[in-house]
Structure 1
Amino acid sequence: MPDPIDGVEVDVDAGTLMGSRENGVLVFRGVPYAAAPTGENRWRAPQPVEPWAGVRAATAHEPPCAQPVDTDTTVANFGGVNGAQSEDCLYLTITAPENAQGAPVLVWFHGGAFFLGAGSLGSYDGTANAQQGVITVSVNYRLGALANFVHPALDAQHPDEPQGNYALQDAVAVLEWVRDNIAAFGGDAEQVTVAGQSAGGGIVVNLLSLPSAKGLFDKAIVQSGSLLLPDRPTADAQRMAQEALETIGIGPDVTADELRSISAQTFAASEPLRAGFFFTPDPAFKPTSTIAALRAGKETDVPVLVGTNRGEKGFAAARTLAALAGDTGAPAFLYRFDHTPAFRAGEWGEGPIHSAELMFTFDSIDRSSWGGERADAADRALADRVNGCWVAFVKMAPGAKDFACADGFTWQAYQPGGSAALIETAGLRMAPADALPDGPEEDATTQDE
């Protein structure tokens, strides 16, 4: 039997939650922020949580959103998920300091190519953040074709609601939930940083241009997710969805009710359907893409921290995002993560790969499947420093143009032609950003020259 739960109760809008005290912090798992997006709620804007009676246990994770997984339940997919999943998946994990008052908040959106992953994975454990006074809210959002889907049969239903972009609608619903409920956990709804890696970084980038998200966050972190792409025209997305449906025997005359009768696992199992058909414009909800908003200087102007890992492509896009986000008003901070753990040296010959930074930015080595006993003293020391820098950014005072972290390092804002923070085994240092290549292939070319 597991150890007894050291329970703690918190009242939110929908009722009372019972979480647990663990490692000196409070943890609430499986916290609903919207009604289950099933049945009539599939492909609709997030609906309110129905209030519950009594005390609801929040001590165990609910299943991740539906996605393809290995038939061997001991093997995780590329998003880190194995075992059971469910279409009923709009839940949060909240890790908070005990007796917090006015604590800043980090809202985390997981990676996974928009059709994999879960907010409950060990790499995203918020214990180290909470021990430094920051609340972490880690999010499940809809995935794949259940998240990014438009179809003519759905157009006539709920005409007053936005169509498509359901993962982004979930993200806004989370921020509204945080605004309304985070004070119960000791959080400050005026100090909210949105953050994500890979697909989660793409969620954050899109939040920068959503009218409904404006005012719900005051900083943004984008890790390996600078997806500065135009939106896909709705007609193109509808055509792609109809063509993909034909591969599972669904014709163009399908009704909305028939679409909703298709099982979530069918969408996850179908390669043409599983990734969805994102992102699409909507006149009210998504009137512009973020790249267009940035170029016009009309994005939500908040401090942005953005970067990538040395062993992956994407630094050029991160540099572009930093330049556009930090051109006027709030500053942008650019980084490249260069540390390869000793136990990965044989595998990562070109530097740390996609997702390698996560157990450092969260200081979650012992909870992440990437680290644990294989990590050495250098890994642990760097994780402490890097996590401290992420926490320092979350706590950064309004109007600041730089911030200090990692035992005296000053992280300076980026301007075109300026510097990025290099995160190396020995610590952090500023280095000319234009001299850093986009990825490992260019790195090798530069070394050969």
Structure 2
Amino acid sequence: MARFLAALAVLTAGLAPLAANAQMPDPIDGVTVDVDAGTLMGSRENGVLVFRGVPYAAPPTGENRWRPPQPVEPWQGVRAATAHEPPCAQPVDIDTMVANYGGVNGAQSEDCLYLTITAPENAQGAPVLVWFHGGAFFLGAGSLGSYDGTANARQGVITVSVNYRLGALANFVHPALDAENSGEPQGNYALQDAVAVLEWVKANIAAFGGDSEQVTVAGQSAGGGIVVNLLSLPSAKGLFDKAIVQSGSLLLPDRPNADAQSMAIKALDTIGIGPDATADELRGISAQTFAASEPLRAGFFFTPDAAFKPTSTIAALRAGTEMDVPVLVGSNAGEKGFAAARTLAALAGDTGAPAFLYRFDHTPAFRAGEWKAGPIHSAELMFTFDSIDRSSWGGDNADATDRALADTVNGCWVAFVKMASDARSFECGDGFAWQAYRPGGEAALIETTGPTMAPADALPDGPEEDAVTQDD
């Protein structure tokens, strides 16, 4: 034993210079909650409760790859929910300190179907925001700092931030999978994950003090596309009562299965996988290989499925058969997409439940030299979540004006989540009355001084192409 301790002392002495600025994390102020699969231990942080790495489905690995989400295996004892699990497989920089364009760095895993839940302590009947991250459907994670739900929780709203399958592990159809199919939905696995999350919320959110009848689905960019698709999925009916779409008005028809299968076969050929590959052989390809292959990484979405996805949302909107729930939708001044948001608002709010349209026009002073055409894609996130100090874009760079606007904008998003589903308007921002949109009507223009209603048709789709400045 003495010899072992002496050797250990030599090893740890060598680590001392590396750990000069390191420290042990603070002790966990634990709190337990019972969900269907067992007991979770989260933590009290900054006056709210946080549960990280909460499984909502079994790992989609091995035989579960390209299958609908499977039930979580119940666990014994108390499961720690105090640290994030790795994001879904995606391309990342070899420098683990450098984030990809989805905000992710470091380790990822195919075992990734986890939630982050931020809730008020002692909540009862709290409304719920279920958040789907952006990232072009092959990047990103629900655990990023910009999506921190602390400000929401302090105003009585529970935030459930989601990891869903990405890339070809999320959107993939192939003849070999057809051949083995036993009647399960095929393709659209990210959308199937989204429905599984909502079913989990319905079954479990009361344990956190939430109201399963007051659930708003929300997302930005690709996450907004997830929300748009939820508006027409039969299996999602009754699982949410409002929707928020930020810079993600994806109004496209579905891709025919035959076309998607042909694209998958051609893409697999680039990594030496022939057209006659079996389902077992396809499942033997590593998740990292799919993420690293440019022809494969983004997947081949979205595809029809007679039972799960019988129609596209654009077709449902035109037919008036979409989920009739209030929708808040918009985009940023420094990106394209306002015309699509306006179209979605017009179609979603034409009869029944209203739609609320916005354009985000605030450029932080510290970004004025880069964002010459206005706030770019994703710029609104640290304002809608009031997460400036946790966002990689904010922190000490933000000034008092940014912080005041973040408080106002986050308050408006919370007011929409809390709004009665049959309301035609809502108030926020010290008396701002946000009116429902009608074609030819007004949108909420969110400027540095706060929101005002402005004629929507006078607002351009976005900047001219040569005026768009990308963030680095």
Is the structural similarity TM-score above 0.5? yes
In the other structure, the counterpart of 1:382 is 405
Give the secondary structure class of the aligned counterpart of 1:440. coil
Q: Are 2:419 and 1:419 aligned? A: no
Distance in structure 2 (CA, Å) of the matches to 1:15 and 1:74: 35
Amino acid at match of 1:409: F
Alignment of 1:224-373 (within 5 A): 224-373=247-396
The 8 Å contact of residues 437 and 443 in structure 1, kept in 2 or not, is answered as no
Deviation at 1:80, TM superposition (A): 0.1
- Return the match for 1:9 from 24, 29, 32: 32
The 8 Å contact of residues 328 and 357 in structure 2, kept in 1 or not, is answered as yes
- Return the match for 2:211 from 188, 192, 196: 188
Q: Are 2:161 and 1:141 aligned? A: no
In the other structure, the counterpart of 1:210 is 233
Deviation at 1:157, TM superposition (A): 2.2
Give the secondary structure class of the aligned counterpart of 1:145. helix
Amino acid at match of 2:456: A
Alignment of 1:122-201 (within 5 A): 122-201=145-224
The 8 Å contact of residues 149 and 276 in structure 1, kept in 2 or not, is answered as yes
Distance in structure 1 (CA, Å) of the matches to 2:191 and 2:461: 28
TM norm structure 1: 0.98
* 1:110-163 superposed Cα distances (whole Å, 9 cap, x missing partner): 000000000000000000000000000000000000000000000122322100
The 8 Å contact of residues 242 and 421 in structure 2, kept in 1 or not, is answered as no
Give the secondary structure class of the aligned counterpart of 1:281. coil
- Return the match for 2:86 from 63, 69, 72: 63
Distance in structure 2 (CA, Å) of the matches to 1:69 and 1:443: 29
Q: Are 2:131 and 1:105 aligned? A: no
* 1:41-63 superposed Cα distances (whole Å, 9 cap, x missing partner): 00000000000000000000000
Amino acid at match of 1:180: A
The 8 Å contact of residues 56 and 113 in structure 2, kept in 1 or not, is answered as yes
* 1:52-91 superposed Cα distances (whole Å, 9 cap, x missing partner): 0000000000000000000111000000000000000000
Unmatched segments (≥5 aa) in structure 2: 1-23
Amino acid at match of 2:318: R
Distance in structure 1 (CA, Å) of the matches to 2:208 and 2:152: 14
In the other structure, the counterpart of 1:431 is 454
Instruction: Name the CA shift for 1:443/1:330 in 2 (closer, same or farther; >3 Å).
Output: farther
Distance in structure 2 (CA, Å) of the matches to 1:38 and 1:143: 13
Q: Post-superposition, which runs of at least 4 consecutive aligned residues in structure 1 deviate over 2 A?
A: 156-159, 442-445
The 8 Å contact of residues 103 and 135 in structure 1, kept in 2 or not, is answered as yes
Distance in structure 1 (CA, Å) of the matches to 2:399 and 2:272: 53
* 1:397-432 superposed Cα distances (whole Å, 9 cap, x missing partner): 131100000000000000000000000000110000
Amino acid at match of 2:188: N
The 8 Å contact of residues 171 and 300 in structure 2, kept in 1 or not, is answered as yes
Distance in structure 2 (CA, Å) of the matches to 1:192 and 1:58: 22
Give aligned-pair identity as a percent: 90
Aligned residues between the structures:
445
Segment of structure 1 superposing worse, 434-443 or 393-402: 434-443
* 1:276-332 superposed Cα distances (whole Å, 9 cap, x missing partner): 000000000000000000000000000000000000000000000000000000000
Amino acid at match of 1:155: D
Distance in structure 1 (CA, Å) of the matches to 2:294 and 2:375: 29
Amino acid at match of 1:304: V
* Cα-Cα RMSD: 1.0
Amino acid at match of 2:326: P
Distance in structure 2 (CA, Å) of the matches to 1:194 and 1:159: 31
In the other structure, the counterpart of 1:79 is 102
Distance in structure 1 (CA, Å) of the matches to 2:50 and 2:179: 42
Distance in structure 2 (CA, Å) of the matches to 1:337 and 1:276: 30
Amino acid at match of 2:84: H
Amino acid at match of 1:80: G
In the other structure, the counterpart of 1:90 is 113
Unmatched segments (≥5 aa) in structure 1: none
Amino acid at match of 2:367: R
TM norm structure 2: 0.94
Distance in structure 2 (CA, Å) of the matches to 1:406 and 1:122: 24
Deviation at 1:250, TM superposition (A): 0.2
- Return the match for 1:397 from 413, 416, 420: 420
Distance in structure 2 (CA, Å) of the matches to 1:412 and 1:398: 14
Amino acid at match of 1:222: V
Give the secondary structure class of the aligned counterpart of 2:297. coil
Distance in structure 2 (CA, Å) of the matches to 1:400 and 1:150: 41
Distance in structure 2 (CA, Å) of the matches to 1:442 and 1:125: 32
The 8 Å contact of residues 327 and 415 in structure 1, kept in 2 or not, is answered as yes
The 8 Å contact of residues 325 and 421 in structure 2, kept in 1 or not, is answered as no
Distance in structure 1 (CA, Å) of the matches to 2:435 and 2:107: 44
